Amino acid sequence: MCVSKGDLTRILHCASEAGISDVYISTGCPVYWRRGEVLSPLKEYIPSAKDIYEIFKFLVRDDHWDTMAAEKAVNSTCQLGEWRYRIHVYRKSGQLAFAIRVLPREIPELAALGQAAMIGRFSRYRQGLLLVTGATGAGKSTTVASFLAELNRQERLHILTLEDPVEFVYPQSSCLVSQLERGEDFADYGQALENAMREAPDVIMVSEMRDRETVQAVLNAALSGHYVVATMHAGSAAETLERLVSMYPAGQQPMAQSLLSASLVGVCSQRLLPGRGGIKQCAVECLHANHAVRNIIRSGKYEQLYNVMQSGRGEGMQTMEMAVEALERKNLLQLERGKDLSAG
């Protein structure tokens, strides 16, 4: 059976209502969707090459055609009725394919995020760098959105976001929120951060740090009196800091360590684990940048951070092992026999 635009709209609306997290579409293959850990085919929907082309025109803005041709991939969002979706278009065996993430209708409150709500402890800062890290699909974007939404309700600030693409739309509240999208409003993060200095923001959110130029611009912003919240792909707090510094050439790494130690306020590294009833649970490793942490960063002895987090419970710190144990004590995890969920 082919997949028309009407079929696609019904599939996505059903996915939204049924708690589906992701929908996958590719040529000559059934549409798949994911609920929790379970991936299921919709065998009655098998798009042709023509269907895929029409779906691309339906979901993706016209100005992304050139991006797709040049980069072989596009990140975008779309809204169908009350629901928003994050669209990733890529090539699979020479054909277009789609990975579609169903976004929450409303930004969740921090209190509803389980351990991810620990990020709220960093809401009092007005200068420095807060890093939210984890693997793809670990919920980083949702955690950051909830954090910024909390600031939007409670404070009077100018919040500027640099995103690729814009996922969550913040309602008008106490703050001025300026949301900029890569490709639409800016070309690259480094230049956008330099321009942001002239736009007088109090809080800057950077949706992804992937290269040294972006990292340097983020550190400069954090050291110039701004509060920067940024995400990275990394599995732990120590890995986050080590990976960030390793983006610099060896001769410049001592400088990077010095800048990072002076600017960092904390790291929240999160992981989604299988929970009871098919509900994923968020485990968070939390690091606060106290005097000991800053000394460790300057020395590059990142392996010592584990001991600091173990002994820093009173300061709101915890290791991933402690995070998993807390979920186990509450009987929230669906444990797999013989598998250590605190491991990477």
- Residue spans of the domains in the chain: they are 5-102, 110-329
Peptide bond into 165 cis (omega under 30): yes
Q: Which of 29, 77, 76 is nearest to 52 (CA)?
A: 29
Domains 5-102 and 110-329 fall in the same CATH topology: no
For the whole model, what pTM was predicted? 0.90
The rounded distance, in Å, linking the Cα atoms of 103 and 145 is: 11
110-329 under CATH 3.20.20.150, yes or no? no
The rounded distance, in Å, linking the Cα atoms of 98 and 83 is: 17
pLDDT value at residue 338 = 43
Radius of gyration of the chain (CA): 21
pLDDT value at residue 342 = 53
The rounded distance, in Å, linking the Cα atoms of 272 and 100 is: 19
The rounded distance, in Å, linking the Cα atoms of 23 and 100 is: 5
pLDDT value at residue 341 = 53
Helix, strand, coil percentages, rounded to 5, for the chain: 40, 25, 30
Q: Write the CATH number of the domain with boundaries 5-102.
A: 3.30.450.90
pLDDT value at residue 333 = 92
Question: What are the 10-residue block averages of pLDDT along the chain, 344 residues in total?
Answer: 90 94 95 90 95 93 81 91 94 93 92 95 97 93 97 96 94 95 90 92 95 95 96 96 97 97 98 86 97 97 97 96 96 67 52
pLDDT value at residue 243 = 96
Q: Which of 246, 249, 244, 239 is nearest to 228 (CA)?
A: 244
The rounded distance, in Å, linking the Cα atoms of 172 and 152 is: 8
pLDDT value at residue 197 = 87
The two beta strands, 73-80 and 83-92, are: antiparallel
Backbone angles phi, psi at 122, to 5 degrees: -100, 10
pLDDT value at residue 145 = 97
- Assess contact for 34 and 20: CB atoms under 8 A: yes
